[in-house]
Structure 1
Amino acid sequence: MANPIVSASWLHDQLGSPDLIILEARLDQNQSNLENQNPGLQIKGARVFDIKNNFSDTSNPLPNTFPSTEQFIDEAQKLGINKNNIIVVYDTLGIYSSPRAWWMFKTMGHSEVYVLDGGLPEWIKEGFPTENQQEQTFYPKGNFEAKLQPEFIKNKEQILENISTKKAVLIDARSSDRFHAIQEEPRVGMRSGHIPNSINVPYTELQQNGKYKSTAELKKILNLNNQPLFFTCGSGITACIVLLATELISDNPKAVYDGSWTEWGASELPIEK
């Protein structure tokens, strides 16, 4: 099992490599109310992977839904990404939106993609080079190719079926208060609670100082068996944080419920509190 996480020092040593592409997983707003402590800065040479606008199906009323293969290829090629590139994804919050971008590339069949542990804050802490954020940068068109791995994405019908079959373990990355309907959902008009038979592993429990905890700690927290793993959250972003954590410690088949609670909570599908 190849380690999908890289350190800031490793990435710094790779700067200048012709096959390296550094992507900032851009998500201007988040439901966790986290703030970028380094506004206007990016890792030197980084390119913007705009999750909300360029790498989501904006025609879908649900937020952050997976784009078509054609859209993903087109946007990746606009970023100058080639099929043989080694991609390192980071975000400005530590580890928040970068696992989503990593999972999307994996779902599109690109194996050489990694997440920077600690993100931009760790990079700055190490004293490595930054620059002002670049806007509207144009790159020579890349030759990126994709082969969709449909088993990495689950829809509401498959999640509903799994409530009965229990073939997979459904892990909810939201906070305990949201999971147990103690706290109202941040999106107006959304029901509170969780999908029946799901378990709660708040993504925050898997991190310390913006980095993943040790594999020994992750194994203790997650306590996995050999079943396939499905992941859900509010809108498919933090689910990927937990998925990536499980990738560090297990080879279980893994998939994201892309609609997540934004879809389930707005429907008449069964819930528990």
Structure 2
Amino acid sequence: MTLNPIVSVEWLSQNLDIPNLVILDASPKKNVSNLEPKYIDIQIKDARIFDMETVFFDKENKLPNMMSSPEVFSKECQNLGINSDSIIVVYDNLGIYTSPRARWMFKAMGHQYVTVLDGGLTAWKDAGFACEKKNNKTFEKGTFESHYNSELVSDSKFILNNLQNEDVLILDARSEARFLGTNPEPRLGMAAGHIPNSVSFPYSSVLENGKMKSKSELENLLLNLKCKHKKMVFTCGSGVTACIILLAFELVNDNEKALYDGSWSEWGQVGKFPVEVG
């Protein structure tokens, strides 16, 4: 089947009987954007908890929110009862916030049948669809196997080697104030500013009331970027909100795209890499 990168709550409500459907709740326990969920302690009926922070992120890495190894990712997906042919719908309780990161993780691990629920838990609950108290169920072991695609991931070496490459466009999803260096970073000990020659593109610019803007609105946002044929690399504070704009651009162009997983948590370490301010 063909699966769009993002689906509506109406689509999900009409497709709950898909035999291999898996609904994942990727709601964060906290966030540096100071967003407050409208609904807490509930989940979409029959959803499974996709705990990025304590299960799926690499706990051995000193950098926050880094992708786990393919072996760990496979094991934890199997523990959730996810199979290699599962059709996955992922959501969070902040509209669209952490769910695009969860989707990207699956894509980077070679799983194509994964989509984000537009508006997340808020849109689902407000539409009157079935929810239940949040719970951690156990599942029959799944058959999921990771097939890591390194082309979807960029590291600091790639960024450093391509700072002057006109065929690479680096987009920063942090707020403009953080990008310019006029606001301090929420993480202690981090430099202020941005990667040289990167472009500010706050994740909030592609959202409206917790949902993704329309395709025509997203296309208008692209007009001034002059990104034709360029490889697009997405960055933010720690690799989460960058996936929101990555998802947005996936809806409107077919450029090669990758996430800088270390993002500012790595690049912004004082004295480690070149930084621009203003």
Scaled to the shorter chain, the TM-score interval is over 0.9
Spell out, residue by residue over 1:4-58, the C-alpha distance to the aligned partner (whole angstroms, 9 max, x if none).
Answer: 1111011011123221000011321111011111010100000011111111111
Alignment pair present for 1:252 and 2:255? yes
Residue 147 of structure 2 is matched in structure 1 by 147
1:92-141 alpha-carbon deviations (Å, 9 max, x no partner): 00000000010011111111100000000100111000000003x21000
Aligned to 1:214: 214
The question of whether the paired residues in 2 share the 8 Å contact of 1:41 and 1:131 is answered with yes
Equivalent residue for 1:198?
198
Does the aligned pair in 1 maintain the 2:27–2:94 contact within 8 Å? no
2:50 is paired with a residue of what secondary structure?
A: strand
Aligned to 2:88, the other structure's residue is in SS state strand
Task: Report the Cα distance in structure 2 between the residues aligned to 1:240 and 1:122, rounded to whole angstroms.
Answer: 20
Query: Could you tell me which amino acid in structure 1 is paired with residue 13 of structure 2?
Result: H
The one-letter amino acid paired with 1:269 is F
Deviation at 1:243, TM superposition (A): 0.2
The AA in structure 1 aligned to 2:236 is: C
Tell me how far apart the structure 2 counterparts of residues 116 and 198 of structure 1 sit (CA, whole Å).
29
Match of 1:97 in 2: 98
- Report what 1:272 is aligned to: 276
CA distance in 2, matches of 1:31, 1:265: 16
| TM-score, scaled to structure 1 | 0.97
* Residue pair 1:201, 1:222 contacting (<8 A) in 2 also: no
Runs of 5+ unmatched residues, structure 1: none
Compute the RMSD of aligned alpha carbons.
Answer: 1.1
Q: Is the 8 A contact 2:98 2:241 kept in 1?
A: yes
Question: Is residue 2:235 matched to residue 1:236?
Answer: no
How many angstroms does 1:165 deviate by? 2.3
Aligned residue for 2:160? 160
Q: Which amino acid aligns with 1:197?
A: N
TM-score under structure 2 length normalisation: 0.96
Task: Give the C-alpha shift of residue 167 in structure 1.
Answer: 2.6
Q: Distance in 2 between matches of 1:165 and 1:17?
A: 45
Counterpart for residue 266 of structure 2 = 263
Q: Residue 114 of structure 2 aligns to which amino acid in structure 1?
A: V
Separation (CA, whole Å) in 2 of partners of 1:149 and 1:166: 24
1:84 Cα deviation (Å)? 0.7
Aligned to 2:229: 226
Counterpart Cα distance in 2 of 1:231 and 1:177? 18
Instruction: State the AA in 1 paired with 2:235.
Output: T
1:164 CA drift (Å) = 2.4
Question: Within 1, Cα distance between the matches of 2:77 and 2:112?
Answer: 15
Does structure 1 conserve the Cα–Cα contact (< 8 Å) formed by 2:170 and 2:232? yes
Residues 158-212 of structure 1: per-residue CA shift (max 9 Å, x gap)? 0111102233100000000000011000011110000000001100010001011
Cα pair 2:3 2:114 within 8 Å, conserved: no
Deviation at 1:2, TM superposition (A): 5.5
Matches within 5 A, 1:1-273: 3-135=4-136, 137-223=137-223, 224-267=227-270, 268-273=272-277
Q: 1:112 corresponds to which letter in structure 2?
A: Y
Corresponding residue pairs, total: 272
In 2, the alpha carbon distance for the partners of 1:31 and 1:62 equals: 15
Question: Which amino acid is 1:51 matched to?
Answer: M
Mapped partners of 2:72, 2:273: distance in 1: 30
